C-alpha cells in the first residue's frame, strides 16, 4: 500500500485522504463478511475423486484375493 502525503494546511486534500481511507476500510470489512466462493463443480469433482479412490481400493483388494486363490490352487496342484 502506498502512503499518500498531504500538506497540513490543505484541508480539502486531508478530507479526500480520510474519505479514501474510510472507503478502503469499509471495502475490507465487506470482504470479510462475504462467504467464501466455491466453484460450482468442486463438490462434484471431490465426489468423483472419492468414488475413484474407493473403486481403486476395491480393485486392489480383489487383486490380492485372486493372488491368494492362485497360491492356494498351486499348492493343491502340487499336493496331488
Instruction: Give the pLDDT confidence of 3-46 residue by residue, as tens digits.
Output: 555 566 777 887 888 899 999 988 888 878 777 677 788 888 89
Structural domain includes residue 4: no
Structural domain includes residue 69: yes
Domain count, the chain: 1
pTM for this model (two decimals): 0.45
Any residues with CB less than 8 A from the CB of 4 and at least 6 apart, and which?
Answer: 17, 20
Structural domain includes residue 6: no
Q: How many CA atoms lie within 13 A of 3 on its CB side?
A: 1
* pLDDT of amino acid 47: 92
Structural domain includes residue 5: no
Structural domain includes residue 3: no
Tens of pLDDT, residues 38-72: 778 888 889 999 999 999 999 999 999 999 998 88
Amino acid at each position: 500500500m502506498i502512503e499518500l502525503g498531504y500538506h497540513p494546511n490543505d484541508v480539502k486534500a486531508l478530507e479526500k485522504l480520510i474519505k479514501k481511507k474510510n472507503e478502503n476500510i469499509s471495502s475490507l470489512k465487506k470482504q470479510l463478511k462475504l462467504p467464501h466462493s466455491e466453484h460450482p463443480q468442486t463438490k462434484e469433482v471431490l465426489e468423483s475423486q472419492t468414488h475413484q479412490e474407493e473403486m481403486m481400493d476395491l480393485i486392489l483388494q480383489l487383486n490380492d484375493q485372486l493372488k491368494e486363490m492362485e497360491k492356494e490352487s498351486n499348492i493343491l496342484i502340487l499336493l496331488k
